[in-house]
Amino acid sequence: MEHQTHHHMTDQNNGNHDKDHQHMGHGGHNHNAMIADFRKRFYVVLVLTLPILLLSHMTQQWLHLQIGFSGSQYVLFLLSTTVFVYGGWPFLTGWFSEMKAKNPGMMTLIGFAITVAYGYSTATVFGLKGMDFFWELATLILIMLLGHWVEMRSVAGASRELELLVQLMPSTAHLIQENGTADVKTETLKEGDLILVKPGEKIAADGLVEEGESYLNESMLTGESKPVLKIKGQKVIAGSVNGNGSLKVRVTHSSKDSYLFKVVDLVRSAQDAKSNTQLLADKAARWLTIIALLAGITTFVVWISLGRDIAFAMERMVTVIVICCPHALGLAVPLVVARSTALSAQHGLLIKNRTAFENSRKITTVVFDKTGTLTKGKFEVSRVSTIGEQASNENELIRLTGALEAHSEHPIATGIMTEVKKRNLTLPQVSDFRAITGKGVAGVAGGRKVKIVSPGYLKENNLQLPPDYHTVGNETVVFVLINDQLAGFVALADVVRPESADAIATLHDNDIQSILLTGDNKQVAESVSKQLKMDGFFAEVLPHEKLEKIKKLQKKGEFVAMTGDGVNDAPALAQADIGIAVGSGSDIAAETAGIVLVNSNPQDIVNLILFGKATYRKMIQNLAWATGYNVVTIPLAAGVLYNQCILVSPAIGAVLMTVSTVIVAINAGLLTIKN
């Protein structure tokens, strides 16, 4: 898979050099074979270059050697022709395919430079007056091959993260059949199969736990570092690592539809997508190609008109053209794109839209949809109070409340049941269970009449509210009556996540304001907003009104990121400058969002924005380096400082070009996500 990613990336590079290699008989796809091919060509040319150097007049003058025999120039010509054809083949075929595509790029420059050098030198062998420069031709091709080989290895490094994601998928699974288990290939698993996952193994397919319990490490998929406990009926994701328990899992998706494969596809298409920065780099690389050819020809004309011989003028022209290769420029952005997209996926940030991700550096306001992002999205018991003699203690009160609520699916009931589990209480039997419409539930538990009711019910029945009763910000309170007397109350709240305050503080440090948007009442919204020191809130907002609130902020000139759960917030997510779907990791189809966060952790939103900024910085650094390098080296190559005895040979030009490309690749590789 790495080769395909590289294929995407370098196709974006103006040099289009993956297409060039398609003529080498590898179909351009097999990346490792391409690296091996360059390595082989490099060594063959290296062996041939040594005799070429020894037979060259220039080297003989330097070394004060006299190697001459009749026909030596023809031997030199044959050796150089072999180097030109065998070593230069990738560049010549690349030049041809670029011309055919009317898209001149790097291969055009190299192909043109070596052809001119070879053509001129050949003419000197067969009678043209002048010095050949076969040795320059050989060293130039040698270094170009080395450069390509080194650079393709660096490029491969940038796509390695994607390969890591692919390797998460185990190759075999233990399928449970009637007569025992059989090891089968992962890709043969279908929906409904039952598989066994032993301790320490990777989960082979998305599914539901049918038997057993274990802690799973999902960090490579969701960025969540703490192992997650999975028990019967819970979802597991393919690629996560099983802890020390044994699990039987019922497969819910075939491997092609699994979460991991969707992520890999998403990463691949995002690496493929061209964003504005990339288009800018492409344009620059195209201009650089044109400038290179013009600068090369101008250099040639100027030196000839100054009375220098053709050989000298040619050498300058070839050096200018080689140094100008827009390779570093062509790879500056794609390498950063490939690395950032794959790294994000490993940290639970799925980038669906590259432009949205790169624009995240412009965000001035983040609008948080409260439930489930800043808060946990589920009710937890925050206070328990007993009144009078009916319930001897808190546990007694919770036990009777739990007995009645055990039959309900309501979020409040779920919160109370969580508390029952936490306190390890056993529940008494219930009879005569009935609902009091809109006001609560009633029944007989442990031989006592119990009612669980809202504050409204107390008022209607003229029951006194207890003296210590006051609601705190975002609490919901239920009262417990035992034998028609008030026995106490249980307060529940949607608890604010521990990470929320830090996330909001970090946004403030980056001059980004945070606004709460919620359907909850004003009191709850104000309480959460104050607690987290946010810049404001919109409360009691109906789903269709969320869109208007976003528009209102945009009219003020804010660049708005909206976080929502991707389903009922779709219109608002689409309206926002950047839509971030939260907590819908398993459902990557959060269509309208540009970015999907697997977890609902608000810290991830901050990481995303900071990582977007870091990614953009890396792109700009790479572009600045790639253009700056050309601005300095082109005049040197043209011979501007010739009178000061500073001259760059074609081979040195090729070394400089390669080094600049490798620097760009290394810089891209330094991009990391700070957690």
Taking CB atoms within 8 Å and a gap of at least 24, the contacts of 519-524 are 519/371, 519/543, 520/370, 520/371, 520/474, 523/471, 523/473, 523/474, 524/473, 524/474, 524/494
User: What's the angle, vertex CA 294, arms to CA 288 and CA 299, rounded to 5?
Assistant: 120
- What is the length of the chain? 675
Residues 6+ apart with CB under 8 A from 116: 314, 317, 318
* Pairing label, strands 448-453, 475-482: antiparallel
- Residues 637 and 455: their CA atoms lie apart, in Å, by 85
- Residues 198 and 247: their CA atoms lie apart, in Å, by 7
CB 104 within 8 A of CB 289: yes
CB 619 within 8 A of CB 336: yes
CB 672 within 8 A of CB 343: yes
Token output for 651: 């081979």
CB 551 within 8 A of CB 533: no
Compute φ and ψ for 178, nearest 5 degrees.
-60, -35
The percent helix, strand, coil of the chain (3-state, each to 5) is: 55, 15, 30
Rama region for 577: left / alpha / beta (φ>0; ψ in -120 to 50; rest): alpha
Mark whether 484 is an active-site residue. Answer: no
| Beta-carbon-side half-sphere exposure of residue 580 (alpha carbons within 13 Å) | 30
List Cα–Cα distances, 31 to 9, 10, 325, in angstroms. Answer: 12, 12, 22
| Active-site residue, selected from the candidate residues 369, 520, 565, 577 | 369
- Catalytic residue IDs: 369
